Chain A
Amino acid sequence: MTINGAGATFPYPIYSKWFSEYNKLHPDVRINYQSIGSGGGIQQVTNRTVFFGATDGPMNEDQLKGAPGIMHFPTVLGAVVPVYNVAGVSELKFTGQALADIYLGKIKKWNDPALTKLNPGVKLPATDISVVHRSDGSGTTYIFVDYLSKISPQFKSDVGVSTSVKWPAGVGGKGNEGVSGLVTQTPGSIGYVELIYALQNKIPFGSVQNAAGEFVKASTDAVTKAAAAAAATIPEDFRVSITNAQGAGAYPISSFTWILLYQDPMDKRAGNAMVDFLKWALTDGQKYAPDLGYAPLPANVIMLEQAALDRIKVS
């Protein structure tokens, strides 16, 4: 049996690992996942052209109306990091405001006072900042602009929060892969990608100032801390934003990523298989997360999800 899914590129590294491992345990179940971006995942699952979707930006009210009965299931926690390609520079500090201004086109050069002030001792060149963003509908974008909109009212009004926004400046890459590719190949560029893409491709990424004022570099630990506060009060449908979380050591651009399943799927066999897969992913699967740069889910969230999974009508 082949089950088709599509969506976010953000969790693609761990999903491809999971589907491969699960297939080893259950050779007759092949889960074919294509990473086309969260926007694509939402659209395809709404049209039922795929069995499940995946997104890092929870569906909004309008989208929920288009897909009645759809449920969100968080799978892992991840971080979006600002990556850059500046000769001779490996460690940079950013505030949310600085990032917002760069992406608004207000900070145009690397040696802008806003950046040099944050990074004394780092030699920043006078070159233009080449801004890279996503060209496709992206949950990674959603997480990033969600955070920037919380920090900068101008960003919120000029750009807004969605999987696909109108960027004031820059070049578009397709998928996390496309942005990583563009940043590695373009000197003087800045982009935003999921942590694992920066780690695997050894792209330098910066630390970001969190709500407590500390400059935190993304790590599984820091992401877990960001989720800790929200975990206690997570809503029933699991749609919550944990960007700019309170608490010491929390990484401010963290997020859950979700798999989208219909409560009443048309193919019961496939539904059964997906439920079984998710239960495995939420338990055994979580151990693969840290190696790939994702943080495992908090225990109470997993418990709530197991209960929610039982509500899926598979017979």
Chain B
Amino acid sequence: MRSTDLRFRIGIGIFAAALLLIVVAIGITLANDSSLSLQRFGFRFWRTSNWDPVAGEFGALPFIWGTFYSSVLALAIATPVALGIAVFISELCPQALRAPLMFLTELLAAIPSIVYGLWGIFVLVPAVRAIEALMPEGLRALPLFSGPPFGVGMLAAALILAVMVVPFTSAVAREVLKTVPMTQREAAFALGATRFEAIRAAMFYARTGIIGAVMLGFGRALGETMAVTMVIGNNPQVSLSLFAPQYTMAAVIANEFTEAANALYLSALIEIGLVLFVITLLVNVLSRGLIWSMAPP
């Protein structure tokens, strides 16, 4: 009896180990294949902005900048919307509407990234270009709005990322709000709170989980590739301007990987992949930790 149980455990344990092995293998492969670039450039890689494949100079600061700027912007736009949806679905809407609304938000998440990118190129970018062209001269002088109205650029990328992040954050926030005991809300109502105040109390109770949900959305935005590649303009520069074409870590790998014509170039791109891997890992771990402290798996 014991031995068959043990064999069973080992038998399926091998498959579970395969999962673990894959993750470890990813980390090791990335680290190994970027060693050339790591050794050559060290930390300079992340402090300099000069991405010059011709001269063999690889400064990846613009990519980190572009990735974080676009993701933070996306978060700023998406978080209120996502939380609003989560609150609406879980606290405010009539029972009949609940299932259809949940279905619709999941639909947002199901649309493939390339389709968002396609829509981005042909619909969003011209719209953003029109907005940029309409900007009054006075605002144009600000660094936030400077530059010719390409349409492609940081603003378009942030908008598309926001659309893609909303369903993620809202689904997790909904789950988190579900774990808030009814007693919290009942107590608030008993004390004469308005709906807003009761919900605020519930959200305060669930704050760590909600922060976790927001961070999960952040992690999603950091790694998004196709939709961003098609609308961000592909220019490795560090710029504050929403109108400026910029670049993200995922986008540069997608665009330049097949043409890295020498070992150093390839290694530099893989190093970017390694850092992307580590950053998303950290963000995901942190967010999951926050969520689990509220709602253990």
Contacts and interface: CB of A to CB of B under 8 A. Distances in A.
- On whether A and B touch (CB less than 8 Å), the answer reads yes
Interface of A: 6, 36-37, 39-40, 42-44, 46, 62-63, 66, 128-130, 135-137, 160, 162-167, 170-174, 181-182, 185-186, 188-189
B261 A39 contact: yes
B137 interface: no
A66 B265 CA distance: 14
A6 B149 CA distance: 34
Contact of B261 (A6, A63, A167): A63
A42 B233 contact: no
Given A135-B234, A171-B245, A43 B260 contact: yes
30 contacts: A39-B261, A42-B259, A43-B258, A43-B262, A43-B266, A66-B262, A130-B150, A135-B234, A135-B235, A135-B256, A136-B256, A136-B259, A137-B53, A137-B256, A137-B259, A137-B261, A162-B54, A164-B259, A165-B54, A166-B51, A170-B245, A171-B152, A171-B153, A172-B234, A181-B121, A182-B152, A185-B125, A185-B126, A185-B129, A189-B150
Contacts of B262: 43, 62-63, 66
Contacts of A129: 148
Interface residues of B, number: 28
Contacts of A165: 52, 54
B234 A44 contact: no
The interface centre, meaning the residue of A43, A63, A167 with most chain B CB atoms within 10 A of its CB, is A43
Contacts of B149: 130, 186
Contacts of B208: none
B113 interface: no
Contacts of A66: 262
- 4 closest residue pairs by CB, A with B: A39-B259, A172-B234, A40-B259, A135-B234
Nearest to B133: A187
Given A166-B50, A186-B150, A188-B148, A172 B258 contact: no
B54 A164 contact: yes
Interface string B127-166: 0010000000000000000001111110000000000000
B105 to A, nearest CB: 31
Interface string B235-268: 1000000000100000000011011111000100
A170 B239 CA distance: 13
Nearest to A50: B258
Helix, strand, loop or mixed for chain B's interface?
loop
Interface string B75-109: 00000000000000000000000000000000000
Contacts of B261: 39, 42-43, 46, 63, 137, 163-164
Contacts of A62: 262
A286 to B, nearest CB: 29
A154 B121 CA distance: 35
Contacts of B126: 185
Contacts of B152: 171, 182
B256 A128 contact: no
B139 to A, nearest CB: 16
A11 B148 CA distance: 31
A174 B266 CA distance: 18
A43 B266 CA distance: 10
Contacts of B54: 160, 162, 164-166
Contacts of A42: 259, 261
Contacts of B51: 166
Q: Which of A36, A129, A181, A185 has the most CB of B within 10 A?
A: A185
Given A43-B258, A164-B259, A174 B151 contact: no
A44 B50 CA distance: 25
A6 B151 contact: no
Contacts of A189: 150
Contact of B234 (A37, A63, A128, A171): A171
A36 B258 contact: yes
Given A135-B255, A164-B53, 12 more contacts: A42-B259, A42-B261, A43-B258, A128-B148, A135-B256, A136-B255, A137-B53, A162-B53, A164-B256, A171-B234, A171-B245, A182-B152
